[in-house]
Structure 1
Amino acid sequence: MSTTRELLTLEQYVAEVLRLVPDPTPVEVVALDDAHGRVLAGAVTARGQVPAFANSAMDGYAVRWADVADAPVELAVVGEVPAGSPHDPAIGPGECVRIMTGAPVPGDADTIVPVELTDGGEQRVHVTAAPERGQGAHVRGAGEDLRAGDLVAEPGTTLTARVLSSVAAAGHAEVPVRRRPVVAVAATGDELVAPGGELGRGQVYESNATHLAATAREQGADVVVPPTVRDEAALVVRALDELAARADVVVLTGGASVGAYDVARDVLTEHAGATYRHVRVQPGKPQGWALWQGTPVVALPGNPVSAAISFEVVVRPLLDALLGRAPRPTTRAVAATGWRSPPGRRQLVPVRITQGEDLRPLATPSHRRGSASHMVTSLAGADALAEVPEETTEVAPGDLLTIRSLA
């Protein structure tokens, strides 16, 4: 087996992997109650005006401006309009109507006087001062928020609580969304023991599948996690056959490098003509991909930090493509401390983001060993990845860094 692999930049390798999924997942229509966290497959527009009618922004009295412009003044109270009322009481000169927040403004009124500017009378009311905003004060106009046909949310939008609220306010009970992609996450290796088991010599607790499965769910996927796959060719073949039949994407961890016992690599190469690359990143240099019975397979390194970071920079874009979702934008932060970076490779360092005294975001490595690929506990304290360019060998405090959020 040759240990020579083509060396690619991260962008070049991700472009290769993205060609495995030319189309997003199919569209399905779901009720708003089932839509939280889903990704819109089509534009949502307002069914009508929002608000649908002119309504009061305050508890108080609906009046004609001409009657209160020279306040103080006393007016006759000729009616009452609570929120949800269909009534439109007539208002003549010297008259007013008590009104509650959100209630439709009577057709004869053009201004709301807050109750705080009155004595709160029920038959007659003394208005002590006219609203400072003048005519039209505290009236929410029909269509002030949205007009019929206005865009509420565009395709590719993740339906957060905030977006769902807007969709509901625009009159929709259902939305078109992308089907959740099914991601199978399989950890491979004889050295792996399930958490809670007893470790023998040379064994470690398996954590990659736990981490990557949870991350995939957070990113909008349904997840299949089989038991750990042992380093036997027949077992790897059987696992791939079963997972490829159930999933849109299979993610393998372990066996992606150039070692003599990387069985997953050998199986994918022999049975699926897999492509393996060296990527100019640290950690996460060995990477691979294949099509197994038509299903994309992404092979990640087995070291926990390498696997986690590789998932973020390689598999996340794949899920974005399947969901028709725009990639998450990067941000910037200032290095709070200094560290070294390997020459010729883009370093991806788990960091914590805090706020400096000057209010600028600060990036601090979450582990004293920085991006060491086996330091799994560095992930628990991280909320982002800091990128160090390939040509940089040392980061100094105050250097400006590109940041990828892990949230």
Structure 2
Amino acid sequence: MDPQNMSVAIEDMFNLDFSIPRVGTPTLESPLKDVIFVEDSERISYCADPTANDCLRAKGMPIPAFIAAGPRRLLYHDAAWTRAAIVTCGGLCPGLNDVIKSLVNTLYYVYGVDNIFGIQYGYSGLVPSFGLKPISLTPDVVDAIHTTGGTILGSSRGEQSTEEIVRTLDRLNINILFTIGGDGTQRGAHDIAVELKKRNLPISVVGIPKTIDNDLNFMDKTFGFETAVQETGPIISCAHNEAKGAFNGIGLVRLMGRDSGFIAANASLANSLVNFCLIPEVEFQLRGEHGFLEALEHRLLRKHHAVIVVAEGAGQNLITDDSAPQKDKSGNILHKDIGLFLKDMIIKYFKERKIEISMKYFDPSYIIRSTPTCGMDSIFCLNLAQHAVHAAMAGMTDLVVGNWQGYFTYVPIPLATMARRKIDPRGQLWQSVLLTTRQNQDWK
């Protein structure tokens, strides 16, 4: 990093607010025994670059750092009087049931909370007009739910009235609300926390980061992502087998990744049969001297087969459509289908050139997101849930549990949702993809 850019980055870091609010002062002794308690003064440095931190020290500025996650000596919520609620929102993702189970078991067995409720179908379950009753959750109810994908609570998209949600929480005497979801869910959680503060209601709102696209800010990864990448492996292998099984065979795989290409990029590294990886962060052209189709033709002339992985948000600049952008219930712009578009363009291009190809198209999106978690992802879910409960019982609120440089942290929701995390085209991840696919050999 050159000195000028470093100076700008340092000023940006100085303006970040890593503080975590509380609903009240913790005064109750924790029931946990033989554990290493985390003090509120313990921090995880935001910047791993010692040069940047040295520059901050030289300027007399504090080092930006997250509050470390973990059990606290003093609690705010009394387990005997605590009523906790759990809600899952947005699209399905591997690990939802794992998180629900771990939240319930940690509340029940570790802290002694035995009033735990599952809210049905997202935030809709907290709006009386939908007529959805909370589900009582116990360790027996959640005992084996981690073995299946999806969520036993159901999920939904769409904004609901914050005021109605808060009134419902108050009426149900809920002390803690766990929100499992991505940026839209957590923005809703922040609004709930703000409204609760206005009404002087001491209810902790704690988020667990769920986004299969791995695009939440200020965290290295979110749960479900690792499983999603693992599940792409057999599909990419099938695409390769189909491509190799015919002269000029092409296997085209469309993966999730609305605005960030982390699944596509990591899938291309995990199964190095991929020859072209296309992501939203790197624009490309179809035709011309540096066009993708010419690069694909060059690849077929050399190898007579190709495997292409494309993220759903890639190449949106190529699809002309005069209609107004459509949005889903969460307010996300619905992208045009780059997979089918690319398939049609490839077939048209080689037909014009009278070059025979064999095209096979794969779209495993819903298979990947509805599967149970892999082993390491399941452990990650458990850790996130445990740290969420530790924060909630200590009276912390308006936060999401994160993971940064190998440490679990507490991230203020406004920071986590201020912008989507994206791949840096100059960074190590994308450079690894280019070295592995060697797509630049054909794409010149």
Q: TM-score by structure 2 length?
A: 0.24
The structure where helix makes up a greater share of residues is: 2
Q: Which has the higher strand share?
A: 1
TM-score normalised to the size of structure 1? Answer: 0.25
Q: Which has the higher contact order (CA 8 A, sep 6+)?
A: 2
Pair member with larger Rg: 1
